[in-house]
Chain A
């Protein structure tokens, strides 16, 4: 007991030993002094002293440490049990570990994304104030004049802040090559509204935004990332002058690590500038600057009361819009919790469904472990009875079982926490395509703690409960029964049967839901996309437009870039497109509303070669060609959805050909493209207008909006991506040094990523469903194997009495079949309910799809029967002589 000494047990033991030894020596010495021989003296003293170990024992009991010692003994015993049957321990610990890890990971993500997504102070009282036309889900940002009125008239907010993204791509430079930053112009009170102060510097001095240069003129606040990466975390940064694009700013603060505003704007590091009002802020026209508005609810206000109050105010505000279209779009104010405004309903329900699935997995794991432990303790009923017969108290036996359960659960907990750490990291990576917020890389401590507690208590219950029962049961009965057949009470079998059926039913539910999602993914993959996805590399370019100020980028950047790319070895064709289909990199969907008509369409800028790269098919007319130049007739191509909606002849979409895009517009429509999927695979195409890049000059209206922000370079090549990418980077670097860091990916990957929540859900459910199936099949196998072992004697007798081996096989299989059927039937019922819950994610498949249900039933039944066959065959092979002799 070496580890004993660490508690100080060992030292006290040795001291007691020494004390008694000393006593004996002194007694002997005195007798020798009196003239006895040494030998005689020793014997006399030992006789006089009595039983030395007993004296030690009784003395030690006065220390009051016996309880602890017993516990240590039990622990030792538990470890010995685990060593003796490592497979059993591994199964239990593994099962429970999986059960802890899956929900811990899911809970962490859900907690982070849905419950407390924003790290701001008292984030529940932060609200987004959005303007809308009242019927559509689309919301519009607001002009300063509206915000000013709200600030003056509303009592629902303690403060209202607002901000606007600095348009275009921005590069902060210290020396030569700039780092890309997201610039946000914010009202000076924004950080106060968010409740987060800079860790360095004073940030912005709160003041009412005005058109004259205020106290914050020329200030910039840096994010922690920029401060560390560009300035090496220099604490003397305050007051330093830095350049963003070509303008100089003075650093007035550094925000704490992890701070972002607005949330959900990608991973580009942020910087913040104070808003100074300009001439754009003096009207409510199309030219007015638009701001995202954030408010902090006042003490007594709720989202509901704020909505009610703002509805009244907005009636008067909307009346001041002169343009009828704009008045319509800004007629209603909607106030939602800021956190809710970040997460789409789709993602929200996907996460909740996955959370539920992981909860089911936890239940299955606990049930399975309970079953295993129950089986184990029934086998040990006889051992328990024997201990009772030898005088162990019931409490003592239960304590020992409890320590065993505790040891096993501790192993499971350690494993579970390890797995949870790993799976949260995996999940965070997987989720980065789907979630608006970066998911945390470590599980939340509280969640893990609660799960571990729940799991441990369930394991404890299932180890001690049988011990409790056994201790209460009369000892003689258990002892009288034969060795291997001990303690096979009917009640126990029934409980274990019910547990197995529960497991099967829950696995069935998970399997069906997983099947439905897999079928959805299958359907999604077979939607005609309207373009080819194979052998295409896409470079997503952030255009450093400040470098090209005053130049025609079409000539100075895009044309040379395209020519170089086209002449690369192995490139079949290369094209530029402002955003590839299904790409989500360009945050601003250019859904444009032309001021003098009602056309709403996606606008894309493309180069003529794009058709070759993506294989776009024309429904009518032609695509752009070399003949469309800056000096020729300005032309556009539209898609079928556009033609259907805006054709002058409602019955003939093709009539749109040759027409002007809108009244007074010089743009002529020269072709109709087949519809292609634009934002998601699941949604049908919406109207789209494509403009040829060669015709875009600084003079044309679209130039500033599209060219200066984002462009995707798409390249069709047969070369492997790994060889092509470095060459592409080289070409990009030659065009402009900032471009060499562009993300380059394949079109297949972009399509894959666009499946978003369905793919995520299907992926995770594959894991959950597979694990559940494995666990329940293992549970079934475990129960049957145990039953067969218990009934070896009975089987032997049956064979001796003339039963056929086939009969015995049938006997066990029938039992398995009954449990499987019950489980599957219950599970199918549950699956129908669960199917309704995930209806929102299904695509091209019904929530109660017969095929999926049938396939799941067959799959589960087949795996169950396969698991049952092994013990059944063992039963059939029982040698009657051996079975009977074993008694």
Chain B
């Protein structure tokens, strides 16, 4: 029970950015879960390894929000797989997330890059 709680906390930490990343990936075309992991890994130059433990809850949550829709289709390797597709509402959400993310990056960036004006040492 305790473990479950910790797990959930970590998801919450990642939530904002993970949702945004997933939606961004789906902008490029419908994709299944494994495909999303691979895409994120490749695009980030192997830097980002999304945990499946976070991915699937996120996907189902996004579907519940109506931002993505899913359907069962044949994959390239002739296997049945669940493909997620971004919806119009999802695109709007992505734009909003992106704006917010950029503001945060700007804000954090300006703090991190600022030169100390009155240093005590």
Interface set of A (CB-CB < 8 Å, partner B) = 15-16, 18-20, 22-23, 25-27, 29-30, 48-51, 54-55, 57-59, 61-64, 391
Contacts and interface: CB of A to CB of B under 8 A. Distances in A.
B115 interface: no
Contact of B7 (A20, A25, A27, A58): A58
Nearest to A27: B34
A23 B77 contact: no
B60 A63 contact: yes
Nearest to A22: B81
A22 B32 contact: yes
Interface in B1-23: 1, 3-4, 7-8, 11
B61 A62 contact: yes
- What band does the interface of chain B fall in when counting residues whose beta carbon is under 8 Å from A? 20 to 34
B33 to A, nearest CB: 5
Shortest beta-carbon contacts, A-B, top 9: A26-B34, A62-B61, A23-B34, A62-B60, A59-B57, A59-B56, A19-B82, A58-B57, A55-B53
Contact of A391 (B1, B51, B77, B79): B1
28 contacts: A15-B82, A18-B82, A19-B32, A19-B33, A20-B33, A22-B80, A23-B33, A23-B34, A23-B52, A26-B32, A26-B77, A26-B79, A29-B77, A30-B38, A48-B52, A50-B53, A51-B53, A54-B7, A55-B52, A57-B4, A58-B7, A58-B8, A58-B53, A58-B57, A59-B60, A61-B57, A62-B60, A62-B64
Given A26-B34, A48-B52, A58-B7, 13 more contacts: A18-B82, A19-B32, A22-B32, A22-B79, A23-B52, A26-B75, A26-B77, A30-B38, A54-B53, A55-B53, A58-B53, A62-B57, A64-B64
Interface in B52-73: 52-53, 56-57, 60-61, 64
Contacts of A25: 79
B71 to A, nearest CB: 11
Contacts of B32: 19, 22-23, 26
Nearest to B7: A58
Contacts of B56: 16, 19-20, 55, 58-59
Contacts of B82: 15, 18-19, 22
Which of A20, A57, A59 has most chain B Cβ within 10 Å? A59
Contacts of A54: 3-4, 7, 53
A298 to B, nearest CB: 62
Contacts of A27: 34
Contacts of A55: 52-53, 56-57
Contacts of B81: 19, 22, 26
A475 B82 CA distance: 48
Contacts of B77: 26, 29
Contacts of B64: 62-64
Nearest to A64: B64
A25 B33 CA distance: 12
Interface of B: 1, 3-4, 7-8, 11, 32-34, 38, 51-53, 56-57, 60-61, 64, 75, 77, 79-82
B22 to A, nearest CB: 13
Contacts of A57: 4
A64 B82 CA distance: 21
Contacts of A18: 80, 82
Contacts of A29: 77
Contacts of B75: 22, 26
A57 B3 CA distance: 12
**For A15, A23, A61, which residue has the most chain B Cβ atoms within 10 angstroms?**
A23
B59 to A, nearest CB: 8
Contacts of A63: 60, 64
A58 B4 contact: yes
Contacts of A49: 52-53
Contacts of B38: 30
A27 B8 CA distance: 25
B28 to A, nearest CB: 18
Contacts of A51: 53
A64 B56 CA distance: 15
A12 to B, nearest CB: 9
A23 B53 CA distance: 12
A58 B58 CA distance: 10
Nearest to B33: A23
Which of A19, A57, A61 counts the most chain B CB atoms within 10 A? A19
B26 to A, nearest CB: 16
A856 to B, nearest CB: 58
A515 to B, nearest CB: 61
A23 B38 CA distance: 11
A50 B4 contact: no
Contacts of B7: 54, 58
A50 B3 CA distance: 13
Nearest to B11: A58
Nearest to B52: A49
A59 B33 CA distance: 13
A54 B5 CA distance: 11
Contacts of B60: 59, 62-63
Contacts of B33: 19-20, 22-23
A351 to B, nearest CB: 58
B36 to A, nearest CB: 10
Chain A CB count within 10 A is highest, among B1, B3, B11, B56, for B56
A408 B8 CA distance: 37
Nearest to B60: A62
Nearest to A390: B1
A64 B60 CA distance: 11
Contacts of A16: 56
B51 A50 contact: yes
A22 B75 CA distance: 10
Contacts of A391: 1
Contacts of B4: 54, 57-58
Contacts of B80: 18, 22
A148 to B, nearest CB: 78
A507 B4 CA distance: 55
A45 to B, nearest CB: 10
A50 B49 CA distance: 13
Nearest to A55: B53
